[in-house]
Chain A
């Protein structure tokens, strides 16, 4: 005789597995197809490719233009993230802990990029920076400036959540009573404890910037060709090469994610359950 409770449970389990499989399939099939296309000789009128080859990857990695584009993307994303952390983290720390009245204002400012479409931002920036005292239009600097604004919400939300979850104000007070000045307390106590949150913010920001196209294309375009602009140009000429670029891009981002999550997990394991963990921050960065 079958147990009705067990039958219901097993039904629920199958339903769960079914839904998960469908979602995974939706996510993975396009990626697999892209990968397959990037290693196929010809794939036009058949269900499966005619043959397999690594020729596209060979061509891609021997193309100097692609390597430079990847390098530029890395450089511009990394420099922006570093500048953003160096400016935003201390600023958010000071506002959250010592000037909570200003937090509302800071929040409105950092959320502005969500309200402005990329095209509008780009046109405005070009107008301001193409002439006058700061004529940086078409250079890497205008891109870094624009990217700084793009990632502000992510850095803000993640840092603020981390500060809240570690009860930063009280840790600062404890450190100060123990003889540390404000700067030392920040460096030795606050910074190591919000590091997992900052790691997540950096990764998220980096991957957003690495995949950014609108601003890069409008602000610098061909004069400072990043990987997304290169990919866009390639799309019009060669499908196999574009697939190879997309897949390479996916692998790079995946590796970065894996690396930073590992660092984040290692740190958070050592810390108090109430301190910032990547999971805590992931929820918050969507702002």
Chain B
């Protein structure tokens, strides 16, 4: 049995099933991410684990304990909210100490644990500051420390970085990951940002319409999407149906499958037919309709007789002739041509 076991959880709001028989299992010390668009049920599931949203059916087990019907205070979970939810009337120290005070711990013990946490989140000297005197990033670190200090069995992070700007976001997500690894804390992270999910998770659960669409390691999710939804959500995949590919200058399309997905960076592009590669694969002809500079990436939109193909290459100065209007040859290795399921 896994450390966290969520089985067949159902939650209905106003006759709409926001969680539809969701099951997942997490090992101790694992960092998993619930990834999906707004309204897919990821936050609802997280809140159900915290006990903030009662569920209609199903079971939630943590560390062998059935917590399905326990009130939040008895679940022994930590939660960090998107808006931090720091207590405005308390200092940094008091905010972090709050959970321990509720446990009626000895004052000395509280002081020691809080000081340890403050040094872990590198906010020494800010103990007596009030939340409004801190930056967004600092506030979120305090929120994290406040949850960690109680040494919860599971740490729940509800889009904790979405209110921060890009630079701090990247730094803080790495810090969260480092702290999580150091404390070997079982963590469930909710986000709608696929890059964030891919960067920090051990495993990702992609959610859509209250169900789990696919789960696996970031590598598996990114390179082998199982459905149209995952392919569209996780990256800039080219998704085509067999009908769309009919009567186009494309050779080597496999016989099986109705819907296909190909990563833009898995497509080789060349101005000469024999430079596309020697392996088995799919070859197409078209012309560049648009070329966009995305920093270290060049993104080409290729028109293959009306079929739009997105191709990403590294932005190297040596590539010549790849300008809008130029005729090009595309090659996709067979292993990169993924058959996927249609999503509703």
A residues sitting closer than 8 Å to B (CB atoms) are 166-167, 170-171, 173-181, 184, 188-189, 192-193, 267, 270-275
Contacts and interface: CB of A to CB of B under 8 A. Distances in A.
B72 A173 contact: yes
Contacts of A181: 71, 73
Contact of B102 (A173, A184, A271, A274): A184
A176 B81 CA distance: 13
Which among B71, B85, B146 has the highest number of chain A CB atoms within 10 Å?
Answer: B85
6 contacts: A167-B83, A174-B87, A177-B50, A178-B98, A180-B102, A193-B89
Nearest to B131: A272
B269 interface: no
A175 B87 contact: yes
Nearest to A195: B89
Contacts of A167: 83, 85
Given A167-B85, A171-B87, A177 B77 contact: yes
Contacts, number: 79
Contact of B150 (A175, A178, A184): A178
A189 B85 CA distance: 11
Given A177-B50, A177-B77, A178-B98, A271 B88 contact: yes
Contact of A173 (B52, B78, B103): B52
A176 B130 contact: no
B206 interface: no
A101 B131 CA distance: 32
A274 B130 CA distance: 13
B88 A177 contact: no
Which among B77, B86, B99, B147 has the highest number of chain A CB atoms within 10 Å?
Answer: B99
B181 interface: no
Given A171-B87, A174-B79, A192-B89, 14 more contacts: A167-B85, A170-B85, A173-B79, A174-B81, A177-B52, A177-B78, A178-B78, A180-B98, A181-B71, A193-B89, A270-B130, A271-B130, A272-B88, A272-B132
Contacts of A270: 88-89, 130
Q: Report the 4 A-B pairs with minimum CB-CB distance, sorted nearest first.
A: A272-B88, A179-B102, A174-B85, A178-B99
A92 B143 CA distance: 28
Contacts of A179: 73, 99, 102-103, 150
B52 A178 contact: no
Contacts of A180: 73, 98, 102
A37 B103 CA distance: 64
B81 A193 contact: no
Contacts of B150: 178-179
B85 A173 contact: yes
Contacts of B75: 177
A176 B53 CA distance: 12
Contact of A189 (B51, B87, B99): B87
Contact of B79 (A171, A177, A189, A273): A177
A170 B71 contact: no
Contacts of B85: 167, 170-171, 173-174
Interface string B50-67: 111000000000000000
Contact of B81 (A173, A267, A273, A275): A173
B229 to A, nearest CB: 30
A193 to B, nearest CB: 5
Contacts of B99: 178-179
Nearest to A166: B88
Contact of B146 (A173, A176, A178, A193): A178
Contacts of B147: 177-178
A274 B73 contact: no
Nearest to A189: B87
Given A170-B83, A176-B71, A272 B130 contact: yes
Contacts of A177: 50-52, 72-73, 75, 77-79, 147
Contacts of A192: 89
Contact of A176 (B72, B78, B83, B132): B72
B132 A271 contact: yes
Which among B72, B99, B130, B146 has the highest number of chain A CB atoms within 10 Å?
Answer: B72
Contact of A170 (B51, B81, B102, B103): B81
Contacts of A272: 86, 88, 130-132
Which among A167, A173, A192 has the highest number of chain B CB atoms within 10 Å?
Answer: A173
Interface string B114-150: 0000000000000000111000000000000011001
Contacts of B73: 176-181
Contact of A271 (B71, B77, B89, B103): B89
